[in-house]
Amino acid sequence: MPGFELFGDLERKEVNDVLDNGVLMRYGFDGMRKGHWKAKELESELTNIFNSNYVQLVSSGTAAVSVALASAGIGAGDEVIMPTFTFVASFEAIMMLGAIPVLVDIDDTLTLDPKAVEAAITSKTKAVMIVQMCGSMGHMDALKMICTKHNLIFVEDACQAIGGSYKGKPLGSIADLGCFSFDFVKTITCGEGGAVVTNNKDYYTNADHYSDHGHDHVGNDRGAETHPFLGYNFRISELNAAVGLAQVKRLPEFINIQKKNYTIIREVLEKIPEVTFRTVPDGGEESYSFLNFFLPDLDTSRKVSKAFKDKGVDVCWNYYDNNWHYIRKWHHLKEAKSLYPLTSEIQEALSKLRTKDFSQSDHYIGRNISCLIKLSWTEDEVRARAEKMANSITSICG
């Protein structure tokens, strides 16, 4: 991770195919494109990878979450439960629909704590969205049972987890709807792009129409298409899809590299008594895009993070003070800083975040260090990196 590290001839070929026929839009212009349909081809490849019936490409992972929720009828005034540890896009995508983000604690999987989810359910709750942060999953069976019990839509934001699996099923294919990102720093990149994955035909049809201004895509004359309902523009371009089409064919290659590099580092760090690792539920396999481990306390993790930087160990983070991925520094959300008026329901929900106790999440995020696993490292570089990391930790914890 990320896939751009290994761009090559296959990516160039697919992009040049689009440039040669001149059609950059995924819909219409049938006569000009000489049989080239990159978005359709990529969707077909992804249905096989995710072992799912339907895939709808969209313009980003953020768009994928909004389109997924909208396709299931979730909107104004509906509550969507989500974790405290994610990317800001999670609550942005919810609020875009007029829905209300309800943030709850994570556990040692670094994803939703099922007990916290159950405690947060109200009469307004319509969906639970797990975010498979840093390439791994939460307690999927428990969360699915909660959703079934309360008749809630279960959504997987697997934007960072392509290639991971749970009990033989690809992450993103387990819930009612799955969401993926193919932005520039994902394992599979389109530059910008995303996908909605589902086995529900109605959700797929809704996502297909909604992401293209409500077009029904019936027939082969775009100008004659009807609009069964309102939609918006969340289309992916053929150029973006072309890059993704090349990259997705290389996914097994990328996952193998990630697993190799991840394993080398982990085998060194697991010898250190003070280091423990995130919980991966039984039957689960990470995508190996990140290595996440815990240290004894926040102070130690901060010191180790600084030591890593001093030794030139890059792309490792303690998210406790991060303003992109953890609730502590989401001041713009807590203070409802919006360019346009928000509903009173949303404002009231956000105001509660200023005083809500997330000490359980603090306990895990404060002690966690997350290290991105690069595809471009040589084995010698990985081993040298692992040694620097181990020396930094033992010098502080010893």
Q: What is the pLDDT of residue 362?
A: 98
Number of other residues whose CB lies within 10 A of the CB of residue 201? 10
Q: What is the pLDDT of residue 122?
A: 98
**Which residues 6+ apart lie within 8 Å of 32 measured at CB?**
21, 22, 23
Q: Compute CA 363 distance to the chain's CA centroid, rounded to the nearest angstrom.
A: 23
Which of the residues 186, 259, 260, 303 is marked catalytic? 186
The model's pLDDT over 228-282, given as tens digits with 9 standing for 90+, comes to: 999 999 999 999 999 999 999 999 999 999 999 999 999 999 999 999 999 999 9
**What is the average per-residue pLDDT within 293-313?**
97
Does the pLDDT value for residue 386 go beyond 80?
yes
The Cα 389–Cα 88 span in angstroms is 29
Q: What is the pLDDT of residue 191?
A: 96
Q: Is residue 345 exposed (0-12), middle (13-18) or buried (19+ Cβ within 10 Å)?
A: middle
N residues, the chain: 398
Q: What is the pLDDT of residue 398?
A: 76
Q: Which domains does the chain have, with CATH numbers?
A: 3-250 (3.40.640.10), 252-397 (3.90.1150.10)
Q: Cα angle vertex 44, ends 39, 48, to 5°? A: 145
Q: What is the pLDDT of residue 157?
A: 98
What single string gives the DSSP state of each residue in 313-379?
A: --SEE-GGG-TTTBGGG-HHHHTT--SSPPPHHHHHHHHHTTT---HHHHHHHHHEEEEE--SS--H
The model's pLDDT over 332-376, given as tens digits with 9 standing for 90+, comes to: 999 999 999 999 999 999 999 999 999 999 999 999 999 999 999
The Cα 326–Cα 337 span in angstroms is 17
The model's pLDDT over 183-209, given as tens digits with 9 standing for 90+, comes to: 999 999 999 999 999 999 999 999 999
Q: What is the pLDDT of residue 341?
A: 97
Report if pTM > 0.85. yes
**What's the chain's average pLDDT?**
97
- Annotated active-site residue 186? The verdict is yes
**What is the average per-residue pLDDT within 40-47?**
98
